[in-house]
Amino acid sequence: MNLNQYTTKSQEAIQKAQQIALDFGHQSIEPQHLLEGILQVDENISAFLMKKSEADLNLIREKNRETLEKLPKVEGGNIYLSQSANKILLDAPNIAKKMGDEYVTIEHLWLSLLEVNSEVSKILKDFGVTKNSLEAAIKELRKGSKATSASSEETYQSLNKYAKNFNELAAE
């Protein structure tokens, strides 16, 4: 796995997953740690993707934390990637390539979390997240742009971050 292929946000999520595993006393980094890492370093993209997939992000986070609590705790030893977490991180660059992106973004990690058979993919599917809904949300989020730099996520919905849409406010 080449971390240089990952955007800054994705790298932060992976590092956060490692820290979460350490904090919980877990020996292996599992998909649940990756999901929690993504949720802790990214607020905008994840919230947008789950809203468009008609899934409740807070309930997903709660369920994921429940599964984190149930993982076995170990003292000492080296921390390592579990087989499923490793598969997620190995599949994400392939997803990026299929989408025409040069870097692995948070969206690719979400797709990989959904596609690789794990407790997290089960949680996401239980809350109604599908590959089609996630891909549609990503297309809407990106509006045709590609991940061509390590800071690609920063450009999504930049207008929404720094301005108010008066048409949407009036409609509400």
Q: What residue spans define the domains of the chain? A: 3-171
CATH of span 3-171: 1.10.1780.10
* Nearest-angstrom CA–CA distance, 69 and 67: 5
3-state secondary structure of 159: helix
The predicted-structure confidence for 35-63, as pLDDT tens digits, reads as follows: 999 999 987 889 889 999 999 999 999 99
pLDDT tens-digit series, residues 106-132 = 999 999 999 999 999 999 999 999 999
Q: Running DSSP on this structure, what letter comes out for residue 73?
A: P
pTM of the model: 0.83
How many Å apart are CA 111 and CA 172, to the nearest integer? 31
